[in-house]
Amino acid sequence: MSSSDKNLDSHSNINLGHSEGKKIGLVVSEWNEEITSNLLHGAEEALLANGIIAEDITTAFVPGSFELILGSKWMAEDPEIDAVIALGSVIQGETKHFDFICQAVAQGIKDVNLSIGKPVVFGVLTTDTMEQAMDRAGGEHGNKGYEAGITALKMLGLKDKL
């Protein structure tokens, strides 16, 4: 389902468990900072609105989206952290660089999820244009950072439930 059809800014509470005491790590790419700062704000907003206190949010910055993989792994290895949200933005350029970075980051974040056994949420925009990225970082398609925050909480709720 495309972003234009679904927006988790309005979400169900299925698996949205007790957030009290949960510690969330945010790993944010500095590249396309105009976009990633909006994603960060959205993720923080979702977490704070659903019971996470500011002191239980740890934020780290990495140079680009490719570095989200290792940054997320390091963050997830911290026994104090319950879930990690990786936030980035890759915008199509004139070369195949976009394809390589998007594939590597998606695969890498998936690998970290499986190897660490904690939720590591893929909050990386992969868009054709800056306008599309802005639309998904607080614009007409909501804020995918907010959605990533909700996703992390839902995964923690599911883990608690199981």
Question: CA-to-CA distance for 39 and 123, rounded, in angstroms?
Answer: 8
**Among 11, 18, 41, 97, the one annotated catalytic:** 97
> What DSSP state is assigned to residue 65?
S
Q: Write the single-letter amino acid at 96.
A: K
* Rounded (10°) CA dihedral 102, 100, 98, 84: 20
User: Which positions ≥6 away from 51 have C-beta within 8 Å?
Assistant: 18, 19, 20, 22
Identify any residues that bridge with 156 across adjacent strands, giving them in sequence order. Answer: none
Q: Is 97 a catalytic residue?
A: yes
Helices (H) and strands (E) in the chain, counts: 5, 6
Residues acting as catalytic residues: 97
